Structure 1
């Protein structure tokens, strides 16, 4: 194998490692978004409960 071929092979291997790392990063980001999407309804309900309790306390003081 010539030096030129070895350099080309190293370049290709580096590119493969880079793409693998990028793919892992994208998978991690997708999993994070799935978790956040799953918990969003709980956050929304928590906010709604807070508004209702605050409104009830305000009305009771009148």
Structure 2
């Protein structure tokens, strides 16, 4: 998977982000990939996941697979 140019994307915070500042931002609208970054470090690195990998991760979160 090639890394897309993220310089012009619109980032949005999760609707579950509270006032803690510990959240992620995602960029929508890119075909087949979902970029993710730390909202506290917008100039820092971004991770880019395939749409299938991100969907599997979200399903796991919803199913409680990462609860401890």
For Structure 1 versus Structure 2, the TM-score category normalised by the shorter chain is under 0.3
TM-score w.r.t. length of structure 1: 0.27
Given the two structures, how large is their TM-score scaled by the length of structure 2?
Answer: 0.24
Instruction: For CA contacts below 8 A with separation 6 or more, give which structure has more relative contact order.
Output: 2
Larger Rg: 1
